[in-house]
């Protein structure tokens, strides 16, 4: 996720302090990984340097001065372009699990056991996500659905690989 673009998008509704940006980010997007204050302020500093935000006002207080940031026209354009670009689809199991299966076969280890262990781990995670989805609000339900759909695809791959394990073993041992 692009933290900078997300903070810019949050600023489109109006100027905010760094604390308010962090709170809004965490509420909407940071359920599993909240932002650190340092991340917010370093990102805002970079956005300010790049002309995508400006300091709307500075308030003196008991502690350090509080800057209120506003998005610039260039920032609005940048968010619009970012939103309009499709994300590159990412393979989730990528090649790590495939590599483990092939290496297990090449070294005469039990690849079926490796697949069973991975299947059990996927199912454990899916149970946890299903429970979280059941108890969560709409945003949490959608996030959990996204993860569950990917895990279901992974499980299909695990089953397919298990069914083809003998053929794969023959091909890697040649």
- 80 or 85: which leads in pLDDT: 80
* Position 98 pLDDT exceeds 80: yes
Q: For residue 57, what pLDDT is reported?
A: 87
* Position 2 pLDDT exceeds 80: yes
CA–centroid distance for 47 within its chain: 21
Structure confidence at residue 8 as a pLDDT band (50, 70, 90)? very high
pLDDT, tens only, 123-168? 999 999 999 999 999 988 999 999 999 899 989 999 999 999 999 9
Which of 60, 62, 69 has the alpha carbon at shortest distance from 18? 69
- Scanning the chain, the segments in alpha helix (DSSP H) are 3-11, 18-28, 37-49, 73-84, 96-106, 111-135, 138-163, 165-172
Q: For residue 28, what pLDDT is reported?
A: 82
pLDDT, tens only, 30-80? 777 889 999 999 999 999 999 999 999 888 777 777 899 999 999 999 999
The overall pTM is greater than 0.95: no
Q: For residue 36, what pLDDT is reported?
A: 92
For residues 24 and 110, give the distance between their C-alpha atoms in angstroms, rounded to a whole number. Answer: 48
> What mean pLDDT value characterizes the chain?
89
Structure confidence at residue 95 as a pLDDT band (50, 70, 90)? low
Q: For residue 91, what pLDDT is reported?
A: 61
- 48 or 97: which leads in pLDDT: 48
Inter-residue contact 29 to 6 (CB < 8 Å): yes
């Amino acid at each position: 996720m692009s933290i900078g673009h997300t903070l810019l998008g949050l600023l489109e509704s109006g100027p905010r302090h760094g604390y308010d940006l962090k709170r809004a980010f965490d509420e909407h997007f940071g359920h599993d990984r909240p932002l650190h204050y340092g991340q917010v302020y370093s990102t805002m500093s970079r956005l300010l340097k790049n002309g995508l935000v400006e300091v709307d006002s500075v308030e003196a207080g008991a502690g350090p001065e509080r800057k209120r940031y506003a998005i610039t026209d260039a920032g609005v354009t940048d968010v619009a372009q970012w939103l309009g670009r499709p994300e590159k689809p990412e393979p989730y199991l990528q090649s790590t699990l495939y590599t483990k299966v092939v290496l297990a076969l090449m070294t005469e280890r039990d690849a079926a056991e490796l697949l069973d262990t991975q299947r059990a781990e996927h199912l454990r995670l899916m149970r946890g996500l299903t429970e979280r989805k059941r108890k969560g609000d709409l945003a949490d339900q959608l996030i959990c659905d996204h993860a569950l759909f990917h895990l279901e695809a992974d499980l299909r791959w695990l089953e397919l690989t298990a069914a083809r394990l003998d053929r794969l073993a023959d091909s890697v041992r040649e």
